[in-house]
Amino acid sequence: MPDVTRKRLRRTTFIYWMLLCYIIAALAWWFISLEKQNKQIADLQYKSVAIEKDSLSHTGLGDKVFAIDKETKRNTRKYVAEGITFFILIMIGAAFVYRSVRRQFKLQQQQQNFMMAVTHELKTPISVAKLNLETLQKYNLDPEKQKKLLRNTLDETARLNFLTNNILVASQLERNTSKSSQEELDLSTLLKDRLHDFRNRFPDRIIKEDIEADADVKGDALLLQMLINNLLENAIKYSPKESPVTAILKKYRSGIELQVKDEGPGIDDEEKKRIFTKFYRIGNEATRKTQGTGLGLYLCRKIARDHNGDISVTNNEPRGSNFVVIFKL
């Protein structure tokens, strides 16, 4: 968290605790004042009874004193009950406000991190593509080098297109402005097409598959492609180059299961609870080496749920992560 945000959070927290202490002190003062007033009223009543004691019988005097004691204790109990009720309500409200403020600061920080990541992610492929095209323009390279530069440029533009699509779809899904088409699709063919594209983009990577044919689902082809793309991008990004990435598609009576496995470092149990949150990225912002915007897995969950499914992550054996998407039929 940047120093400016941390300072603002500390200042806000300090003001919050000061106000809470003031409210609790005011509540305590209110109780003390009422109790003091209650005792003063009781003392006046005792004095009044003392003045009238000569005209009262012993029984009548005892009854009046008993009534005064009873009324005093009843008022004390009432003040205590009201004070406890107010205190509980104040603490519940204070906890809610404190959590809301912390959540808002956390969201603001995530949005700042997202903007920094997007700026970097957009700038890098544009700079690489520009440099490659300028090199082709200035120098008379042999056909093999030209082909390599052009392929690199196409890869960077594909990455740029992937990023902008993620941002656009995330915005549309958030505002419910994305009108997804519902058509009969063969998820098996869709997955094979995506794997073919990734093998062309990453010829040095080992990409395995175990796909059952005719896995029909009803949904939006573009959104399902984006879901698969994000899972494969993640698996490739977070696993060593020499390790395989495996895509599995299985059919069951109750639905269709898609798995994407990698042999990367894996994900901690605490992180597993957060990785599908918008803008959330694993690790420390200052030391993180991998690229990303924190939208990919958030989009995967949104798309899966929009297609009557859900996504989860488990540990892969012997190492790595296994993302599982289940579409219910």
- The domain ranges of the chain are 3-112, 183-328
pLDDT for 246: 95
- 177 or 62: which carries more pLDDT confidence? 62
Residue 165's closest CA among 112, 122, 131, 128?
122
pLDDT for 292: 61
Give the confidence band of 55 by pLDDT, cuts at 50, 70, 90. Answer: low
Note the CATH architecture for domain 183-328. 2-Layer Sandwich (3.30)
pLDDT for 174: 66
Give the rounded percent of residues in the chain with a pLDDT score beyond 90: 22
CA distance 20 to 93: 10
CB 303 within 8 A of CB 327: no
Average pLDDT, the chain: 82
- 93 or 249: which carries more pLDDT confidence? 249
CA distance 311 to 186: 19
- 250 or 154: which carries more pLDDT confidence? 250
Tell me the pLDDT tens digit for each residue of 200-232: 888 889 999 999 998 999 988 888 988 998 899
Residue 7 has pLDDT above 70, yes or no: yes
Tell me the pLDDT tens digit for each residue of 77-86: 888 888 888 8
Tell me the pLDDT tens digit for each residue of 273-311: 888 887 777 655 443 455 566 778 888 898 899 899 999
Residue 153's closest CA among 169, 168, 137?
137
- pTM of the entire predicted model: 0.59
CA distance 215 to 106: 41
Tell me the pLDDT tens digit for each residue of 9-27: 778 778 888 888 888 888 8
pLDDT for 203: 87
Tell me the pLDDT tens digit for each residue of 77-128: 888 888 888 888 888 888 888 788 777 777 776 666 666 666 666 777 788 8
